[in-house]
Amino acid sequence: MNTQEIILREKLDDYFSSMFEDELIDEIVQVGYIDKLKNDEILIDIGETMTHIPLILNGVVKVIRKEKKGHELVLYFLERGDTCAISFVNCLNRSKSLFKAVVEKDAEIIFLPVDKIEPWLINYKTWRQYIIDSYHFRLIEMVESIDSLAFMKMNERVYKYLNDKVKINKDVNLEITHQEIADDLNTSRVVITRLLKQLHDEGKIYSSRNKIRVLNF
DNA sequence: ACATTAAGTGATT
DNA sequence: AATCACTTAATGT
């Protein structure tokens, strides 16, 4: 066993080993490769063809829907233990990505080549379960995202967004600019500035330049 | 000291 | 809730 495999196995032990059977872990170790990605690196962009699916070991990946003229909307975040099963099905169909995925917080990710992993669906019950669960979970998050778009006012959306961020980063102190929030929610900076000021005055957050602290989380 | 980037605000639609 | 136009504040060089 080479060092790469040993490292991989070690990383998997953290989280996935309790989820997958030993034989499956063995296969993952053999075909997968691990990569460390830094903030703002793009995993995949809309229209690109996917060849691998990611298993997130740590860090955070942000999944975004993008409109042609640069307008974006954040759909959900992927964290430890997550994969994007959507990308998996996309891979099987050899179709192009509907989403853009960028690293939100430095991440270690195992990439699995799709042609190798397809048979796992048949051979490994835990893998099947994992993929189905993941698909289900993404669907739920997508619906949540539709709900917030359709039914929530912008001030509620901002607050939810901040809370989601805190949850995912495990830190109530966020380093973020008004502009970045505006981009993620597809609105304008001025609107965010005003709503944040409102939240600040209501005592729900504390905000200063480049920083927001979510209170009573 | 100056330039750049982030944030705050009134007025208008 | 969005846009414009402008101001003020914070930060980098």
User: What are the DSSP calls for A36-59, one per residue?
Assistant: EE-TT-EEE-TTPBP-EEEEEEEE
pTM, to two decimals: 0.90
Q: Which stretch of A63-77, A126-140, A194-208 has the lowest confidence by average pLDDT? A: A63-77
Which residues constitute the domain of residue A39?
3-149
pLDDT tens, A75-134? 999 999 999 878 878 877 888 898 999 999 999 999 999 888 889 999 999 999 999 999
Last residue of a domain, one of A103, A121, A149: A149
* Nucleotide in closest CA–C1' contact with A211: B6
Residue A156, nucleotide of least CA–C1' distance: C1
Q: Which of residues 175-214 of A touch strand C (CB under 7 A)?
A: 186-188, 190-191, 195, 209-210
Q: Which amino acid is at A51?
A: T
**Exposure b/e, A80-119, CB count within 10 A at least 16 = b:** eebbbbbbbebbeeeeebebbbbbbbebbbbbbebeebee
More confident residue, A193 or A5: A193
pLDDT value at position A12?
Answer: 84
Indicate whether A55 and A145 sit together in one domain: yes
Strand C and A154 CB separated by under 7 Å: yes
Neighbours of A180 (CB within 10 A): 14
- Residues A145, A158 within the same domain: no
Among A94, A120, A149, identify where a domain stops. Answer: A149
Determine the distance between A89 (CA) and B2 (C1') in angstroms: 54
Confidence of residue A1 (pLDDT cuts 50, 70, 90): low
Provide, in whole angstroms, the distance separating residue A181's CA from nucleotide B4's C1': 20
Say how many domains are in chain A.
2
Q: What is the pLDDT of residues A65-78, one digit of tens each?
A: 988 777 899 999 99
Terminal Cα-to-Cα distance of chain A (whole angstroms): 46
Cα A140 to chain centroid distance, Å, stands at 14
Radius of gyration of chain A (CA): 19
- CA A43 to C1' B1 (Å) is 43
CA–C1' distance A193–B7 (Å)? 7
